[in-house]
Amino acid sequence: MLNWLAKLLLTSTAIAPVLITYAWVAYQASEDLQAVILLVACIVLIITCILVLRYAKKHLERASFSATTVEAADRENMGFLLLYLLPLFTAQFDALNWQVWVPAIGIFAAVVATGYSYHFNPLLGLMGWHFYKVGTEEGVTYVLITKKQLRRATGAIKVGQLTEYIVLDVGDD
């Protein structure tokens, strides 16, 4: 189990798609240096996400996992994306208050990394991963991250436990 570190890394990588938009706005405002910094940060976050997933698939202990209930948990992705992008529609790049944004993003990441709150990562969605709320016979609900399209609870799959309530499909893609 990777625990809080995995959650922190996967949560922080969720802002990678937003950085592309901020970079575009910075470029349009002739803030070329900021645009490049934002693009580099985006690339670093994408690489971090890929490396965390590869590490997890390779090093996590594999266990058989059977779900009794399955519910899509990434339906809210458009709402999250609009929430992330809303400031771009209301202010110019140079008018954004970065002294507020940077600590707010840090606090959000810390809260998600140390709690049991569900988080959605649009970067994983862009990479073809899906989030499902899955229930077990014991009555425990997990978030399953997989590239498979689940339509019903059937059969066992091989998973690695990322955190206490998040499991990652580590079987062949």
Q: Which is higher by pLDDT, 150 or 135? A: 135
pLDDT in tens, 80-101: 666 566 656 655 666 666 677 6
The position carrying tokens 């899955």 is 134
> What 3-state class would DSSP assign to 96?
coil
Closest C-alpha to 134, from 121, 123, 118, 122 = 118
